[in-house]
C-alpha cells in the first residue's frame, strides 16, 4: 500500500462484541468530520458490508487471504489508501478465529489492530484480555474502543487496566441496537430510521483526540503491482442479475468480475414480478432472503413463467443459496407456510432454527478451484443426485451439493468469482453464441 492513509483492522475477542457498531460509528463520525473514509470487511459476509456502506457512503469490499487471495487484497488496500484519509477493516469473529484469521491478515499487510471490547460486565479484567490478544499472535495493537461503558468512572477503570495500551474511545450501551435476524443484521433498506441510528451511534462514540493523533500511520509493504486483466470469456453476453430484498447477497467484486470478463449486466426484480430480461444470454440468481418473501415470490407469475421459459430454451442459469431456494418446487418458510416456487429443481426447501451450513468451501471444477463459502438455515430435500460437492476449508471434508438440471447450476455454495473466473464463465455459457 501507499503511505498516507491511517489504516486500522477492527477486531475483538469474539463475535457479538460490537465490531460492526463501532466500525459504523467511527466511519460515520470521521466522514462527518470531513475525512475521506474507506471501509472493508474481512471474511465472507454480505450484510455487515451493506451496513458499513451506508455508514461510510462508499463501497465496501471483502478482504480474505484464502477466498479473495493476497494479491487481490493488496490491490484493493492500495487503491483505498490512495483515495482515503482513513481505511477501516472490520474483522470476522475473534481476532485469531478462522484459517486464515483476521490476525493473519493484519500480519500479512502490517496493519495495526484496534480492539473492540464489550466491557459491560468487566472492569480491570479488560486489560488482561487485551494484552492476551496483543501477545498471543502477536499483533501490532493500536488501541482499544470499549463498548457498552456504563459511565466515565467505568471508562477510567478500563483505561487504567490497559497498562499503557491506548483507550482510543468508548461507546455506551445503545437504547436502539442495530436489529438482527437469523443470518445476522437486518439489511439496511429494511431498518426504519437507519440514518438516524447511525448518526446516534456516531454521536455516542467518545474519542480520545490526543490518543488518535499519536497513532502511527500504517506503512504496509508498497507492492502496488497492477493485476493482470481477465480474459474476455463473456464478451458480448448479457447476464441478467436478480436484485431486490429477496436476492440481495451480491459481492460488488463478483459483479466487477463479470464485467471485466466482458459481460453486460441487466438487472431485474423477481419480487416486483419482473421477468427475465429478453436480452439475457444467461441468468445469475444470488442469495438473499426468499423465505421472508415467499408469498410474494409464489404470486409472481410473470417471473416464475419467465425463468421456466429461459430454462426450457437452454439459457444458462447460475443460482446460489437463496437463488436455488427460489427455483425449487416448494419452500417451507418454517412458520406454517408452504409456498410454490419456480419448480426447476425437484424437492422442498425447509427452513429450520439452527444453521445447516457454515464456513469457507471450494468446488474443484473442470476449469480449476472455485472458492467461496456457505451460510444457511434451510435444507433442500430433493431426489436429485449432486453433480459434485464442495470441500470445506481447511478440513477437506465434503460439504454442499452442486446440482445440475439442464442448463441450471445450483447450490447453497456462494462462489467468489475471481478465484476461478473461467468456472463462472463456463456456468454462464462462455463459448456459446450470444
Cis ω before 394 (30° cut-off from 0):
yes
Q: Which CATH class is domain 238-427?
A: alpha beta
- 3.40.50.1220, 1.20.1370.10, 3.10.590.10, 3.40.50.300: CATH of 6-213: 3.40.50.300
Q: Which of 73, 257, 321, 420 is catalytic?
A: 321
What is the rounded distance in angstroms from the CA atom of residue 126 to the CA atom of residue 13?
A: 11
What is the rounded distance in angstroms from the CA atom of residue 430 to the CA atom of residue 307?
A: 20
* Same fold: 6-213 with 238-427: yes
- How high is the pLDDT of residue 186? 72
Q: What is the DSSP string of 143-204?
A: EEEEEEE-SHHHHHHHHHHTTTS-EEEEEEPPSSPPPEETTEEPPGGGSTTHHHHHHHHHHH
What is the rounded distance in angstroms from the CA atom of residue 376 to the CA atom of residue 389?
A: 16
One digit per residue, the tens of pLDDT, for the chain of length 434 reads 445 689 999 999 999 999 999 999 999 999 999 999 999 999 998 888 999 999 999 999 999 999 999 999 999 999 999 899 999 999 999 999 999 999 999 999 999 999 999 999 999 999 999 999 999 999 999 999 999 999 999 999 999 999 999 999 999 988 666 666 555 667 777 777 888 989 999 999 999 998 888 885 544 544 566 778 999 999 999 999 999 999 999 999 999 999 999 999 999 999 999 999 999 999 999 999 999 999 999 999 999 999 999 999 999 999 999 999 999 999 999 999 999 999 999 999 999 998 889 999 999 999 999 999 999 999 999 999 999 999 999 999 999 999 999 999 999 999 999 999 999 999 999 865 43
Residue 264 bridge partners (DSSP): 238
The domain ranges of the chain are 6-213, 238-427
Pairing between β-strand 264-268 and β-strand 238-242 as defined by DSSP bridges = parallel
User: Would you state the cell numbers that stand for residue 398, as one nine-digit string?
Assistant: 465434503
420 classed as catalytic: no
Neighbours of 138 (CB within 10 A): 11
- How high is the pLDDT of residue 193? 82
Residue with cell 451511534: 201
- How high is the pLDDT of residue 409? 98
- How high is the pLDDT of residue 433? 42
Q: What is the DSSP string of 324-352?
A: HHHHEEEEE-SSS-EEE---SEEEEEEE-
The answer to whether 273 touches 301, Cβ cutoff 8 Å, is yes
What is the rounded distance in angstroms from the CA atom of residue 429 to the CA atom of residue 434?
A: 9
Q: Please provide residue 47's backbone torsions phi and psi, each rounded to the nearest 5 degrees.
A: -85, -50
Three-class SS of 30-81: HHHCCCCEEEEEECCCCHHHHHHHHHHCCCCEEECHHHHHHHHHHHHHHHHH
Closest by CA position to 46, among listed 240, 227, 243, 271? 243
Find the length of the chain.
Answer: 434
The CA-CA-CA angle for residues 83, 85, 87, to 5°, reads 85
Amino acid at each position: 500500500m501507499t503511505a498516507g492513509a491511517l489504516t486500522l483492522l477492527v477486531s475483538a475477542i469474539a463475535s457479538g462484541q460490537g465490531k460492526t457498531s463501532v466500525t459504523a460509528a467511527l466511519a460515520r463520525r470521521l466522514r462527518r468530520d470531513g475525512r475521506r473514509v474507506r471501509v472493508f470487511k474481512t471474511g465472507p459476509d454480505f450484510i455487515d458490508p451493506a451496513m458499513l456502506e451506508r455508514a461510510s457512503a462508499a463501497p465496501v469490499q471483502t478482504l480474505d487471504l484464502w477466498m479473495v487471495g493476497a494479491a487481490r487484497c493488496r490491490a484493493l488496500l492500495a487503491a483505498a489508501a490512495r483515495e482515503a484519509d482513513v481505511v477501516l477493516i472490520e474483522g470476522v469473529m475473534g481476532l485469531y478465529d478462522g484459517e486464515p484469521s483476521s490476525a493473519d491478515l493484519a500480519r500479512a499487510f502490517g496493519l495495526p489492530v484496534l480492539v473492540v471490547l464489550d466491557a459491560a460486565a468487566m472492569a480491570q479484567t479488560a486489560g488482561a484480555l487485551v494484552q492476551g490478544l496483543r501477545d498471543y499472535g502477536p499483533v501490532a495493537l493500536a488501541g482499544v474502543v470499549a463498548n457498552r461503558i456504563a459511565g466515565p468512572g467505568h471508562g477510567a477503570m478500563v483505561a487504567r487496566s490497559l497498562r499503557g495500551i491506548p483507550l482510543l474511545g468508548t461507546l455506551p450501551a445503545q437504547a436502539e441496537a442495530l436489529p438482527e435476524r437469523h443470518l445476522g443484521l437486518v439489511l439496511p433498506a429494511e431498518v426504519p430510521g437507519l440514518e438516524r441510528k447511525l448518526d446516534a451511534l456516531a454521536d455516542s462514540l467518545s474519542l480520545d483526540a490526543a490518543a488518535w493523533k499519536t497513532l502511527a500511520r500504517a506503512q504496509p509493504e508498497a507492492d502496488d503491482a497492477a493485476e493482470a486483466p481477465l480474459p474476455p470469456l463473456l464478451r458480448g453476453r448479457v447476464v441478467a442479475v436478480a436484485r431486490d430484498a429477496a436476492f440481495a447477497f451480491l459481492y460488488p467484486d463478483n459483479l466487477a468480475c463479470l464485467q471485466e470478463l466482458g459481460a453486460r449486466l441487466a438487472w431485474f426484480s423477481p419480487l416486483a414480478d419482473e421477468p427475465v430480461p429478453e436480452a439475457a444470454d444467461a441468468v445469475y440468481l444470488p442469495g438473499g432472503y426468499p423465505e421472508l418473501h415467499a408469498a410474494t415470490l409464489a404470486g409472481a407469475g410473470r417471473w416464475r413463467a419467465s425463468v421456466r421459459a429461459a430454462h426450457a430454451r437452454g439459457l444458462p442459469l447460475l443460482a446460489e443459496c437463496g437463488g436455488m431456494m427460489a427455483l425449487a418446487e416448494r419452500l417451507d418458510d418454517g412458520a406454517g407456510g408452504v409456498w410454490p416456487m419456480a419448480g426447476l429443481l425437484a424437492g422442498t426447501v425447509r427452513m429450520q432454527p439452527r444453521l445447516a451450513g457454515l464456513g469457507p468451501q471450494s468446488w474443484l471444477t473442470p476449469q480449476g478451484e472455485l472458492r467461496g463459502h456457505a451460510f444457511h438455515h434451510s435444507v433442500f430435500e430433493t431426489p436429485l443426485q449432486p453433480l459434485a460437492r464442495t470441500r470445506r476449508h481447511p478440513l477437506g471434508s465434503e460439504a454442499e451439493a452442486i446440482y445440475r438440471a439442464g442448463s441450471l447450476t445450483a447450490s447453497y455454495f456462494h462462489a467468489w468469482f475471481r478465484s476461478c473466473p473461467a468456472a463462472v464463465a463456463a456456468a454462464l455459457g462462455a463459448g456459446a453464441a450470444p
